[in-house]
Chains A and B, each alone.
Chain A
Amino acid sequence: MTNRTNPGRIAAHGVMVALSFLAIFPVYWMIQTSFRSENEIFSGGLFPAAPTLKNYADVLAAMPMLRILANTALMAGATTLAQVATGLLAAWALVRWRFPGGALARSLIALSWLVPFQVVMIPNYVLASRLGLLDTVAGLVIPNAAAAFSVLVLYNAMRGFPREVVEAARMDGAGSLRILAEVVLPNLRAPLASVSILCFISAWNEYFWPLLLIRRMENSVVQIGLQFFMTQEGNDWGPLMAAATLASLPILALYLVLQRQVVDSFMKSGIR
């Protein structure tokens, strides 16, 4: 009996297929519901009887969805860049230099990861208000410009980098920033990619801070936009699913473009 026809292996694959189906089915249901007409939303069946684009038209008519998506992309992109940049520099400092209190600083950064954002939300809101950042993308990005998560992941990735190579570069006369940019960074593509993707997804899904900070629909982000179809008097499932589908597309596109790198980087950096 070959390994390929081993009953245990077949059973394992069966379980994986079933789990994959469970994972994909809600996404499929979201997409097919977005093509159902209003009086068909609660009908059973795997396919809409009379597929319609009305829900998408309704979403685009009810709110500036494209602008909201652009706001979200800008916010998530800027937040990711800021978190990766600050994480990179902080991790480099912690790895490159041994200084009194270094271990304590690292511990404090790790501990700060455990503090829920809700704790600092109101002081941040008051500060954002005083700085005139209400209702702006900058206000969404600045309080999230540094993240303990990216510092710690990049710190762990850099720690494994051979010190001899760094020392050799230093003896060749390279400064710290040049060593970071030209020697270390090219070898950190996998963890950088994984951190960037996770930061982007986390920022894309942010809800509470935009809910507090944003005051107008046109300045809103997509997670708040979805809420516009959910009220105490019931949910508009058709437009809600259409908006959710539109909101998922950029993340899906990002994944499709970077699919191989994402999987590789998650495996290599130990993020699963």
Chain B
Amino acid sequence: MIRRHFLALALTTGLMAGGFAPAAQAQMAPSVDQPVTITFYNYNLASAGIGREATLDLIARFEAANPNIKVEPIAAPSNEVLSRVQADMVAGLDVDVAQLVFRDLIYAAEQLGAQPLEDLAGEELAAHAAGFVPNGLALGAVDGKTYGLAYVFSTPVMFINRDLFRAAGLDPDQPPRTWDEVKAAGMAIAQKTGKHGFFPGAYGPTDGTFVYQAIVISNGGKVREGNRLTFADKDQADAVAMLRDLMDSGAHARIDVGAHLDTFQSGNLGMFLYTSAILNRVETAAAGKFEVGLAPMPSFGDKPTAPTNSGSAIFMFSQDPVKQRAAWELMKFLTSDEAYSIITSKIGYLPLRLSTLDDPRYLKDWYAANPKYKANVEQLSRLTANVAFPGPNYRQVENMMKDAMTEAVFGSGDPRVVLKTAQDTAQPLMPQD
């Protein structure tokens, strides 16, 4: 982790020292009339299996439909793709389209020169976004302009081990809808089966901030207001205190934060709140051992939940007008009905375009055969943007928030004091107004 931070710092310094600055806007070409090659930095390509195969399939289909455009795919793991983009910019290589996680949104827009899509493709963007889920375009917006086009993403859903529910005397067809019910079910599972009750994928080395944010925003909280950190304020702290209460009651598992998914897959966890993108993986591991169920994320009493997005957006960095057109055509294709039919059915992410679920040309048959996705699809009507942090220290700030939340839940100190101390320490790292 230290090395990773060091690399990010070195790259940032390199960009600054190299005089890197976003270039002035150019007018995007109306079409691509000559052969052109664009680069596509992608983290699904840096995995062996369906994510890579589906992405290569998408690129092949795009190239077949756009014979003048060749896409050079560049693979990098999701944690490293930003570093790769930065390094290539420092080296003077062309970075045209990049898939970046949402935490990098503001940094990409303000420091890396991502193109605001309204300025380049205003009417085309509006027409293309007409079929998106509500708030779909807002996921990649900074100061009212779209820099990242939401691409592969999901929301937190509750995975249920139905066998453990039955063993604890609970009805798996009536999974907990509120946090109070989660507490009761978690305690029952822990006491009657000796297994773990509940765990959210909000901590640890994998990116769980979207789960954490989904919980605090569902309680009416926000992790920041402009440049002022607010993750220790009342509603947010109350949400974390609720998790701590689950922990103290025995309903929340006290396990290695990096092993939550493995614990659920091994059949030792009753409820697991995490991205629905793991559904295929979970079902494969559970086959023949236990039955998997899905439920919407729990709510705070009657308050509506605010599921935030995991996953990534695609950003355009091209400066050349013809490459910008080629990049825009690729971005449109990757967020088209055809593409989401592949992305959803093959990889397991959610479709940004809900009409594909009713269309027999796209996902209708697949959706009918996979009703478990319903819980997640229903949450899309309340989709709330995951909040990225601004300024060059955004990753440190986010990590400090995540570490404080982990300590508040797993530690013995007053969770509100732990959060407040971390917030006061992190605030100077935020940009000054």
Bound together: yes
A237 vs B266: C-alpha distance when bound (angstroms): 12
Closest to A215 in B: B74
* The residue from A42, A212, A229, A239 contacting B267, defined by CB atoms under 8 A apart: A42
CB of A125 to closest CB in B, whole Å: 5
Kindly list chain B residues whose C-beta atoms are within 8 Å of the C-beta of A119: 10
The A contact surface, by secondary structure, is helix
Q: Mark B76-88, 1 if CB is under 8 A from A, else 0.
A: 1111100110011
Kindly list chain A residues whose C-beta atoms are within 8 Å of the C-beta of B76: 211
**If A118-B10, A215-B75 touch, does A236 touch B48 (CB 8 Å cutoff)?**
yes
CB of A62 within 8 A of chain B? Answer: yes
A233 vs B77: C-alpha distance when bound (angstroms): 12
Closest to B348 in A: A233
CB of B47 within 8 A of chain A? Answer: yes
Closest to A42 in B: B266
B267 touches A231 (CB 8 A): no
CB of B28 within 8 A of chain A? Answer: no
Closest to A119 in B: B10
A63 touches B48 (CB 8 A): yes
CB of B51 within 8 A of chain A? Answer: yes
B77 touches A227 (CB 8 A): yes
B3 touches A39 (CB 8 A): no
Q: Mark A30-43, 1 if CB is under 8 A from B, else 0.
A: 00000000110111
* CB contact list, A235-261 vs B, under 8 A: 235-237, 239
A236 touches B206 (CB 8 A): no
CB of A227 to closest CB in B, whole Å: 6
CB of B286 within 8 A of chain A? Answer: yes
Kindly list chain A residues whose C-beta atoms are within 8 Å of the C-beta of B77: 211, 227, 230-231
A184 vs B227: C-alpha distance when bound (angstroms): 67
Q: Mark A102-143, 1 if CB is under 8 A from B, else 0.
A: 000000000000001011011001100110000000000000
CB of A71 to closest CB in B, whole Å: 15
CB of B59 within 8 A of chain A? Answer: no
CB of A87 to closest CB in B, whole Å: 26
A235 vs B3: C-alpha distance when bound (angstroms): 22
CB of A173 to closest CB in B, whole Å: 51
**If A42-B266, A232-B207 touch, does A239 touch B48 (CB 8 Å cutoff)?**
yes
B265 touches A211 (CB 8 A): no
A232 touches B261 (CB 8 A): no
**If A228-B47, A234-B261 touch, does A217 touch B75 (CB 8 Å cutoff)?**
yes
B281 touches A62 (CB 8 A): no
**If A118-B7, A125-B91, A232-B78 touch, does A39 touch B47 (CB 8 Å cutoff)?**
no
**If A39-B284, A39-B287, A42-B265 touch, does A129 touch B93 (CB 8 Å cutoff)?**
yes
**If A118-B6, A129-B92 touch, does A236 touch B49 (CB 8 Å cutoff)?**
yes
CB of B313 to closest CB in A, whole Å: 15
A217 vs B90: C-alpha distance when bound (angstroms): 23
Kindly list chain A residues whose C-beta atoms are within 8 Å of the C-beta of B84: 212
* The residue from A42, A231, A232, A239 contacting B285, defined by CB atoms under 8 A apart: A42
A229 touches B90 (CB 8 A): no
A233 touches B281 (CB 8 A): yes
**If A122-B87, A212-B84 touch, does A38 touch B47 (CB 8 Å cutoff)?**
no
Q: Mark B41-52, 1 if CB is under 8 A from A, else 0.
A: 000011111011
* The residue from B46, B87, B262 contacting A227, defined by CB atoms under 8 A apart: B46
CB of B78 to closest CB in A, whole Å: 5
Kindly list chain B residues whose C-beta atoms are within 8 Å of the C-beta of A122: 10-11, 14, 87, 90
CB of A25 within 8 A of chain B? Answer: no
A126 vs B49: C-alpha distance when bound (angstroms): 32
CB of B19 within 8 A of chain A? Answer: no
* The residue from B7, B10, B206 contacting A232, defined by CB atoms under 8 A apart: B206
CB of A28 within 8 A of chain B? Answer: no
CB of B162 to closest CB in A, whole Å: 16
Kindly list chain B residues whose C-beta atoms are within 8 Å of the C-beta of A121: 7, 10
CB of A216 within 8 A of chain B? Answer: yes
A33 vs B146: C-alpha distance when bound (angstroms): 46
Kindly list chain B residues whose C-beta atoms are within 8 Å of the C-beta of A229: 47-49
A238 vs B34: C-alpha distance when bound (angstroms): 46
CB of B255 within 8 A of chain A? Answer: no
CB of B395 to closest CB in A, whole Å: 15
Q: Mark B259-295, 1 if CB is under 8 A from A, else 0.
A: 0011001110000000101100100111111000000
A118 touches B207 (CB 8 A): no
A212 vs B84: C-alpha distance when bound (angstroms): 6
B285 touches A38 (CB 8 A): yes
Kindly list chain A residues whose C-beta atoms are within 8 Å of the C-beta of B266: 42-43
Kindly list chain A residues whose C-beta atoms are within 8 Å of the C-beta of B47: 228-229, 231
Kindly list chain A residues whose C-beta atoms are within 8 Å of the C-beta of B284: 38-39
* CB contact list, A180-234 vs B, under 8 A: 208, 211-212, 215-217, 227-234
A239 vs B46: C-alpha distance when bound (angstroms): 15
Kindly list chain B residues whose C-beta atoms are within 8 Å of the C-beta of A38: 284-285, 287
A62 touches B267 (CB 8 A): no
A211 vs B45: C-alpha distance when bound (angstroms): 14
A125 touches B87 (CB 8 A): yes
Kindly list chain A residues whose C-beta atoms are within 8 Å of the C-beta of B79: 232
CB of A46 to closest CB in B, whole Å: 16
**If A38-B287, A233-B281, A236-B49 touch, does A216 touch B90 (CB 8 Å cutoff)?**
no
B78 touches A208 (CB 8 A): no
Given contacts A42-B265, A125-B91, 8 further A-B contacts (CB under 8 A): A39-B289, A43-B289, A118-B7, A208-B3, A212-B84, A231-B78, A234-B261, A234-B265
> Shortest 6 CB-CB distances between A and B: which pairs?
A42-B266, A62-B48, A129-B91, A228-B48, A39-B287, A126-B91
Q: List 9 A-B contacts (CB under 8 A).
A: A41-B285, A42-B265, A62-B52, A118-B10, A122-B90, A126-B92, A215-B74, A216-B75, A230-B77
